[in-house]
Structure 1
Amino acid sequence: MAKIPVIEQCTVSYKENKDFLVDRLEVYLEQNKNLVFPHRHNFYHMVLFLAGGGSHEIDFKEYAVERGQVYMMGPGQVHSWMFQGEMKGFIVNFDIDYFKTLLVQQDYVERLGIFSSLTESVFVLDEYQLREIINLFSQLLELNDRVTTDLQRTLLLFILLKLDQAYAPSLEGKSLDYHLVLIKNFLALLDQHFKELHLPKEYAELLFVTPNHLNAVCKEYMGLQAGEVIRNRILLEAKRLLILPDWTISQVSYELNFNDNSYFTKFFKKIAGITPEEFRRSQWK
């Protein structure tokens, strides 16, 4: 059975360095003209739009392109482009191990708010922030031509921190305390075990908390009960599989450990409001 294509950094990088790429968006698009189908990356990916139109889609949510918009994506997310007009901006791709020799805390980058699965990492910079970030991207592009790896890594990290500072997440006003750590750990476990573990009590046991406490923290930070978070993660994976033309509904149901097609269809329709078949048709228009 086919899988959603996983694009590796080396396949989209047309420069010498295969674990890092920075370029003008218009140059990147010219070099990767056919990269418009839904796909995943095995690397980190970010784009800053300066001109152009159309839209892009991340995990089945569509965003209209606008000047100053930034989007950040971690490995594994599904996305596609539907651009219009003359696109301008910057794009940066970097491997998951790009900062390995620079940072003591290996998960430092993935713990930044801009790469958090708690909130959507699509936001718009104001003009002051935009001028500063354009200048930094331009410097990063100049360093890329000189292949000065340590300076590249340091400047890229600085850019990520500036963007993280500019980002206005929905959790604004909530303290970065133990509860936020608990939520992040819950989401990490959910990504690993959503196919076989479907109940809040199963995750609560792994996190050494009570189901009631996990529910309360999820409600405070995400506005959802833990069970809803779990079901939404399963739904997302179902959508990722349903866009594959050679997967049957039965195969998707089996992959997600549902007992039968009927139960899977009821589950999908209850949350998404449409059947798996209707969702598939809407994506194949």
Structure 2
Amino acid sequence: MIQNIPVYDICSLSDIRQDDLLVSRFAPYLDSHKKLFFPHKHSFYHLVLFTEGSGSHTIDFESFTVKPGQIYFMIPGQVHSWHFKGFTDGYIINFSEAFIQSFILQPGYLHNFSFFSGSLQDAVIDLPKESFEIVRSILENILIEVVKPAVAGSDMVRLLMLQLFIHINRLNANPDVSIKPTYNQTLLKNYQNLIEQHYADIKLPKDYAELLYITPNHLNAVCKDLVGLSAGELIRNRTLLEAKRMLVNPGLSISEIALKLNFSDNSYFTKFFKKAEGINPEEFRKQALKH
């Protein structure tokens, strides 16, 4: 059993660090990084297209079946592990936000893509056959640019990656919906961004509503209308996710986790966790670290 959950950066996964980017066929990458079968975090963005293989992979404690034609995306901080059966291959790209941002003037450009939102229902995609061939061709061209560097090679890689992102983003886009988000959609996104920044120290929807210059009732109505959850549930769900991420680190005690998440005491944290998960934090930890 691992003693501390590792957090990998691109440099730690490659002998050569080029512009905050790592591109590889998946089989040799997997063969070189056996420890990635255990739960771990990334400090970078990460995508994999499977072309062969079976088994499962887990992102933030939700398990997905591996299948050829599946692509998944991850953002920094998510907890991940693999459990493959037999030979598995495909393509992998690890990259920093700076790698793309240096090419795009629009701040936070990656956040425009739903598969980089952290929502798992958008992050794991089974590609239709035609799209699979398109995406595979793009990834093959990216690999060629990395293996055989040419003039402006990094910029060509960026262009190809943007082509891939835009193609996949269009798969689920509703042509009847305006490209420009509505006021309520923007409001929800701003609320989610605030939760991401403050879930540990701001616990009440009314305090977020004040930051957004709206009433708590308005905030709650927007959340229920767009995602089917109350404003309070979104805060609790994010707190619960971070608790799970911390619990797979055996180096942190339950009391330390409760303190980091600003619970008044250990028993209150345990009660919160058990109400949401049906088991206490220690039981969750044992299950998550069992291999």
TM bracket, shorter-chain basis: over 0.9
CA offset digits 1:129-184 (Å, max 9, x no partner): 11111111111111112331111111111111111112x38x99776312111111
- 1:229 is aligned to 2:231: no
Relative to its length, the structure with more helix (as a share) is 2
Alignment correspondent of 1:93: 94
Structure 2, gaps ≥5 residues long: none
**1:80-159 matches, cutoff 5 A:** 80-118=81-119, 120=121, 121-147=123-149, 148-159=153-164
Moved more, 198-207 or 32-41: 32-41
Alignment correspondent of 2:199: 194
- DSSP-derived class of the 2:108 partner: coil
Alignment correspondent of 2:254: 249
Q: Distance in 1 between matches of 2:225 and 2:241?
A: 22
Given that 2:4 and 2:251 are in contact with CA atoms closer than 8 Å, whether structure 1 keeps it comes out as no
**1:164-243 matches, cutoff 5 A:** 164-166=169-171, 168=172, 176-243=181-248
Q: Distance in 1 between matches of 2:117 and 2:177?
A: 15
Counterpart AA for 1:155: L
CA shift for structure 1 position 200: 0.4
1:272 to 269, 274, 277: 277
* Normalised TM-score (structure 1): 0.93
Change (3 A) 1:42 1:65: same
Change (3 A) 1:16 1:4: closer
Structure 1, gaps ≥5 residues long: none
CA shift for structure 1 position 13: 2.4
Q: Distance in 1 between matches of 2:241 and 2:176?
A: 28
CA offset digits 1:226-270 (Å, max 9, x no partner): 100100111111111112213221111111111112111111111
Q: Distance in 2 between matches of 1:275 and 1:203?
A: 29
- The list of structure 1 runs, each at least 4 consecutive aligned residues, that deviate by more than 6 angstroms after superposition, is 171-174
Please tell me the root mean square deviation across aligned C-alpha atoms, in Å: 1.9
> Identity percentage over the alignment?
45
Counterpart AA for 2:156: L
**How many matched pairs?**
282
Change (3 A) 1:94 1:75: same
Q: Distance in 2 between matches of 1:278 and 1:174?
A: 45
Given that 1:133 and 1:159 are in contact with CA atoms closer than 8 Å, whether structure 2 keeps it comes out as yes
CA offset digits 1:37-75 (Å, max 9, x no partner): 212111110001111111111111111101111110111
Given that 1:10 and 1:18 are in contact with CA atoms closer than 8 Å, whether structure 2 keeps it comes out as no
CA shift for structure 1 position 18: 5.0
